[in-house]
Structure 1
Amino acid sequence: MTTAGLAADQLDTLVTVLDLVRFGDARTRPELARRLALGRTVVTQRLAQLVDCGLVVEGALGPSTGGRAPRELRFRAEAGALLVAEVGATSLAVGLGDLSGRLGDQRAQQWDVAAGPERTLARIETLFDELLAANPPRALWGIGVGVPGPVEFSSGRPVAPPIMPGWDGFDVRDRLAARYDASVWVDNEVNTMALGELRAGLGRGTSDLLYVKIGTGIGAGLVSGGRLHRGAQGCAGDIGHIAMTGTVPGATERVCRCGNVGCLEALAGGAALAAEALDAARSGRSPTLAARWRETGAVDAADVVRAAENGDQVAVEMLQRAGRLVGETLASLVNFFNPSLVLLGGRIGGSGDLLLAAVRQAVYRRSLPLATRDLRIVRSDLGDRAGLMGAGFMVLDELFSRERLGRWIQAGSPAGRPELTTDVRRSY
């Protein structure tokens, strides 16, 4: 069986050689030969293919191990460019990256995802154009987008996203692919955040982790065996809509934006905190929130976090309750999935120690001792950068996968080939 003129075994070794070089695990030809247990001829042939398409170059002489010093190999991250975007419930950000996943120029602004796909994508395109105009021209190899709702990964289309009115079934991929003549991948933003943490954050070197975003909504990205787990259709990790009706008094009275009642998000998400904050401000139970409401005419979850940090007891109790509910939900996931790391992110999840402490307490109290023996629960260190970075790694994972690399390597570049995003059938 062959793919784009390459035999299956040739493609296997080509992908392995590329990964060893681009991740820095092998820096010379002798190192490649040792790692792969292959002859010098095979290594030379695979490197020649990668050199021919501009992905690898040989640089300065490396240290000698007794014979002639070998030349060091370098992955040419500058060979192509990536455009990435992250759409949140109340903001959006874009960036321009290279083939290592490193981000350069970036833009961010407040934005309401409820503005709909046409206006939102038009704004992203404007920002993309600004990035391309402001930076030296490079071939565009791909585009990655994260959105705040369930996405069918194979098609790149949001499916019934609760906080994204008008986005259901919208073909984000085709819209951007036609505009930029590039391959486009779209995923839930929590998945891209988890991927960003796995490759460039506290998750590096971790095989099994949970990334939990607590913001307007609540979601989780799952990494198992060092790989992002999306599930059969792409909606794995949507913990915000786990029902709490059997464990939380009054949960049946809280209607979630998904249409059900008693969801975790409806009880502990940013919108729930904002509603509770408004009630506390109007009633005067929270002096800090009441002052904020009189000053601006509104309060939100960020105001709760600030009030709690300033010692407002009502705000402290609100954050602790939200953290306890999230922690009790995570305890079940920790027992089931047994991760070694739980990362908290998002505007609320990445806030101060109060919520983190409440989450930890609930998880450690409700999980099995073996599941928590070596478990770390910490805040993300990438913050707002995780989603954008992860969107870039998503594109690179797809472009350099065995299935897709075989479809473009002999052309020298995937630039100008949006058809690469079509589903690949693994038949070899």
Structure 2
Amino acid sequence: MREPLHLRLLRLLRDLGPTSRAELADALAVPRPRLLAELERLVAAGYVAEAGLAASRGGRRSTLVELNPDLRFAAVDLGATSIDVEITNGRLEPVVAYAEPADIRSGPKVIMNRVDELLAKARIDGAYQRLTGIGIGVPGPVSFRDGIPVSPPIMPGWDRFPVREYLTREHGCPCVVDNDVNIMAVGEKHGGVAQAVNDFLFVKIGTGIGCGIHLSGEVYRGPAGCAGDIGHIQVDGHGPVCSCGNVGCLEALFSGAALGREALAAARSGTSSALAERFAAAGSVAAPDVAEGAGEGDVTCIRLIRDGGRRLGGVLAGLVSFANPSMIVIGGGLAQLGHILLAEIRSVVYRRSLPLATGNLPVVLSELGPRAGVTGAAVLASDQAFEQAT
């Protein structure tokens, strides 16, 4: 079904900025009287404002319209170990941003209270007077329809917590809740390396592993909202027990926690001098230490990254054969492992998938990096608010 005119119009102003009425009518392929009536309604509703005169082109200067400069969206990206919050204007340009460590396992009361505090701080700092919409991503399966996490393996206490209802009630505006990797895929499509691509996979490698599936210009979530949970595909029937309770999942063998565990074993055994030195100095080692060690040429660090890339590449090769994407984007905290990881993933995907599927298949790092999540959350927040601008 074709989207309503007001939604297409508001999205166009969001993405293009100040635009003349004539240009809007042409871009939307609607009669000018209908467009003018819709604009008049949106101005009255507080979503659109006059934006002055366009630059002179020799004739009568046309007037421009834009999204109301007072529109504000809150974008929240909850990770397993972090909270990122941005307040954006109507064009999704950041007004203020906050980032801090947090443990998602501390439960919804603690985490949501902290989100409220950060949003209150943004208001005190003058970032907004009222919010037009909120978008939030969480690191676990989400019922997109209901706005709740459902049995998230690494989020104890969050099962069916009413995230959308809570934020809507506390802040008096529409709210949309999605899985963290889905919002990253939306962000990368809006402002990253996948802007010109309608069919791509966004793979987040961090504390867990997930895949945002973007097909025909839209995120595919599945009927229950858990499409793309590739971290729980089994890759070793005799592997370690995963947080989901199964054995040998990809996430149990290659993720932030898994890599940290292997790095610690290598440091303690002395098989990696680079990791042993860091462990002696700091008392711990983690993924960044592996990346640094690999950069110094440490053989064990390089092997750990390649082993992870080979396992992930094997899973992605299956997805390429199944979905035939035009691009694969790698993001998340472990993307910092860089080109050793990327080269291994590419090697396996290109070797194990059919040439027809990989003949023109870029496998690239996220262009937005850590901002992919908040960017996508802001896009979803604006879409939700615009849909309700009736």
TM-score by length of 1: 0.86
- Between 119-128 and 31-40, report the one with greater CA deviation: 31-40
Question: How much has 1:63 moved relative to structure 2?
Answer: 6.1
The question of 1:121 aligning with 2:107 is answered: no
Give 1:50-129 correspondences, 5 Å limit: 50-62=42-54, 68-76=60-68, 78-129=69-120
Contact 1:86–1:93 (8 Å) recurs in 2 = yes
- Counterparts in 2 of 1:57 and 1:215: CA distance versus 1, 3 Å: same
Contact 2:259–2:286 (8 Å) recurs in 1 = yes
Residue in structure 1 matched with residue 198 of structure 2 by the alignment = 207
Give 1:146-161 correspondences, 5 Å limit: 146-161=137-152
Contact 1:26–1:32 (8 Å) recurs in 2 = no
Residue in structure 1 matched with residue 294 of structure 2 by the alignment = 308
Aligned-residue RMSD, C-alpha: 2.1
Match of 1:290 among 276, 291, 298: 276
How far apart in 2 are the matches of 1:253 and 1:74? 55
Question: How much has 1:66 moved relative to structure 2?
Answer: 8.5
Gaps of 5+ in 1: 1-7, 246-250, 410-428
Residue in structure 1 matched with residue 166 of structure 2 by the alignment = 175
Deviation string, structure 1 residues 6-61 (Cα, Å, up to 9, x no partner): xx99x933333333333329932223333444433222211211222232233343
Contact 2:107–2:156 (8 Å) recurs in 1 = yes
- Counterparts in 2 of 1:136 and 1:172: CA distance versus 1, 3 Å: closer
What amino acid sits opposite 1:54 in the alignment? G
Match of 2:122 among 131, 136, 139: 131
Residue in structure 1 matched with residue 8 of structure 2 by the alignment = 16
Residue in structure 1 matched with residue 361 of structure 2 by the alignment = 375
Question: How much has 1:122 moved relative to structure 2?
Answer: 1.4
Contact 2:192–2:367 (8 Å) recurs in 1 = yes
How far apart in 1 are the matches of 2:31 and 2:84? 47
How far apart in 2 are the matches of 1:176 and 1:12? 26
- Counterparts in 2 of 1:362 and 1:136: CA distance versus 1, 3 Å: closer
How far apart in 1 are the matches of 2:27 and 2:281? 64
The SS at the match of 1:106 is strand
What amino acid sits opposite 2:216 in the alignment? G
TM-score by length of 2: 0.94
Deviation string, structure 1 residues 153-193 (Cα, Å, up to 9, x no partner): 11221111111111112122222222222222211111111
Residue in structure 2 matched with residue 317 of structure 1 by the alignment = 303
- Counterparts in 2 of 1:35 and 1:293: CA distance versus 1, 3 Å: closer
- Counterparts in 2 of 1:147 and 1:288: CA distance versus 1, 3 Å: same
Match of 1:394 among 356, 380, 385: 380
Gaps of 5+ in 2: none
Residue in structure 2 matched with residue 426 of structure 1 by the alignment = none
Identity of aligned residues (%): 43
How far apart in 1 are the matches of 2:187 and 2:358? 24
The SS at the match of 1:48 is helix
Give the length in aligned residue pairs: 390
- Between 263-272 and 55-64, report the one with greater CA deviation: 55-64
